[in-house]
Amino acid sequence: MDIPFLDLKAVNHEYADELKAACARVIDSGWYIGGAELARFEKAFAEYCGVPFAVGTGNGLDALILVLRAWKQQGKLKTGDEVLVPANTFIATVSAVTETGLVPVLVDIDPATHNLDCAAVEAAITPRTRVLLPVHLYGQLAPMPQLMALAERHGLLVLEDCAQAHGAQLNGRKAGNWGHAAAFSFYPGKNLGALGDGGAVVTSDEELARMVRALGNYGSSVKYRHDYPGVNSRLDEIQAAMLSVKLAYLDADAESRRQVAERYLRGVNNPLITLPGVSERNAHVWHLFVVECVERHALQQHLARRGIQTAIHYPLPIPDHAPYKTLKLSLPMENARLHERILSLPIYPTLTEGEQERVVAALNEFRRENASGHA
Ligand SMILES: *Cc1c(COP(=O)(O)O)cnc(C)c1O
């Protein structure tokens, strides 16, 4: 039996009865947008993150965009202002910036964690820098205490991209609880995944929460009165109901992911494979388990021959994509060019112990087929 990179059917099957009941409840309610399910989920998710406000959006990209638009609407940002983003992230982090008329500046990353490098951030700050947009990549928080201190010193707004880090903690403080605002994605494959698209903004800033909600609802807070030029980006009742079911299991799921990660970290002893770095006091939620290997292509094929599916996050650096070729880079990128070395292994709550051990054994056999095994 092949081991899929991610088996979403199995993941959601765990909650199938509750999901179906919640879906039926929404169908029977006759109310499908902006109702009790959304209010219930927003309250629960804000509480989970430890912030007062959560606002559902259509997806994670829109959550990022709506915060930046709101800050422009409030006069805190203007077109052409610079936003520091990590050079290694999913494209959405960068498109949110360009979509709002702001200028992304790509900043180098820490070679161990692949999160933002604090010294590189400091070196990238110019008088035009207005926003710091850290990504908690793979499910591990960026170095937020240092980044928040830098932001404070330079008067920067901080927007956390938490799309991969629901429930992750640093010093006991959760993702989404550090910056002036944070954006989450509930894309089905994320750690807290809907059964369709979804996202949320969380913040302690009540004015910002109100503005984000209005901008995502045609610039309107009162029906048919439009105070701002807005868009349509809302979390619907069915997805909110699905997310309420799954939020209750998020911490248990993260614990299962941690057990997979621990088995990989303990078991893999192949010197050709570099394991991911976990920084101190981080409660990693392991959205992705990314190893590095100079012979990545051969390793991926070796695993595929053994029925183990892998993926690459991400195969191309951001400046190599056509629309972003002219982006400003803060420094020569020392560490961000890792796209040819990285490989993401299967990691999800329903991966069995037997499957995890098969992955470990296959990794240890790479280029050592004739070795005795435990060298
Ligand atoms: C998934 C993701 C997003 C975008 O989320 P969508 O819901 O797909 O729009 C943004 N940033 C990062 C880092 C992501 O992984």
Ligand 1, pocket residues at CB < 6 Å: 59-61, 89-90, 92-93, 135, 161, 163-164, 185, 187, 197, 199
CB of 231 within 8 A of CB of 216?
Answer: yes
Q: Where are the alpha helices (DSSP H) in the chain?
A: 8-13, 16-29, 36-49, 60-73, 91-99, 118-124, 144-154, 206-215, 237-247, 250-267, 296-305, 353-365
How far apart are alpha carbons 266 and 52 in whole angstroms? 39
> How close is the Cα of 89 to the center of ligand 1, in Å?
9
Beta-carbon contacts of 47 under 8 Å, excluding residues fewer than 6 positions away, are: none
> What is the three-state SS of 218-271?
CCEEECCEECCCCCECCCEHHHHHHHHHHHCCHHHHHHHHHHHHHHHHHHCCCC
User: What's the distance, CA 157 to chain centroid?
Assistant: 19
Distance CA 164, CA 284 (A): 10
Write the CATH number of the domain with boundaries 8-247. 3.40.640.10
Among the atoms of ligand 1, which is closest to the Cα of residue 59? 7
The 10s digit of each residue's pLDDT in 195-243 is 999 999 999 999 999 999 999 999 998 888 899 999 999 999 999 999 9
Cα separation of 322 and 316, whole Å?
11
Tell me phi and psi for residue 340, to 5 degrees.
-90, -10
* Residue of 88, 93, 114, 239 to mutate, ligand 1, most atoms within 8 A of C-beta: 93
CATH topology of domain 250-372: Aspartate Aminotransferase, domain 1 (3.90.1150)
Domain boundaries, the chain: 8-247, 250-372
Position in ligand 1 atom list of the atom nearest CA 92: 10
Q: Do 249 and 236 contact (CB within 8 A), yes or no?
A: no
* Distance from C-alpha of 158 to C-alpha of 146, rounded to nearest angstrom: 12
CA dihedral 233, 238, 244, 246 (to 10 degrees): -100
**Do the beta carbons of residue 7 and residue 350 sit within 8 Å?**
yes
Which of 61, 162, 285 is the best mutation target for the ligand 1 pocket, counting ligand atoms within 8 Å of the beta carbon and taking the most?
Answer: 61
Q: What is the distance between the alpha carbons of residues 236 and 56, in angstroms, rounded to a whole number?
A: 8
Q: Distance from the CA of 298 to the center of ligand 1, in angstroms?
A: 29
Atom of ligand 1 nearest to the CA of 63: 9
Prediction pTM value: 0.96
Tokens 């701002």, located at residue: 228
- Residue at token pair 């035009």: 128
CA Rg value for the chain: 21
pLDDT in tens, the chain (375 residues): 899 999 999 999 999 999 999 999 999 999 999 999 999 999 999 999 999 999 999 999 999 999 999 999 999 999 999 999 999 999 999 999 999 999 999 999 999 999 999 999 999 999 999 999 999 999 999 999 999 999 999 999 999 999 999 999 999 999 999 999 999 999 999 999 999 999 999 999 999 999 999 999 999 988 888 999 999 999 999 999 999 999 999 999 999 999 999 999 999 999 999 999 999 899 999 999 999 999 999 999 999 999 999 999 999 888 888 888 877 666 556 777 799 999 999 999 999 999 999 999 999 999 987 654 444
> Which atom of ligand 1 lies closest to the CA of 62?
9
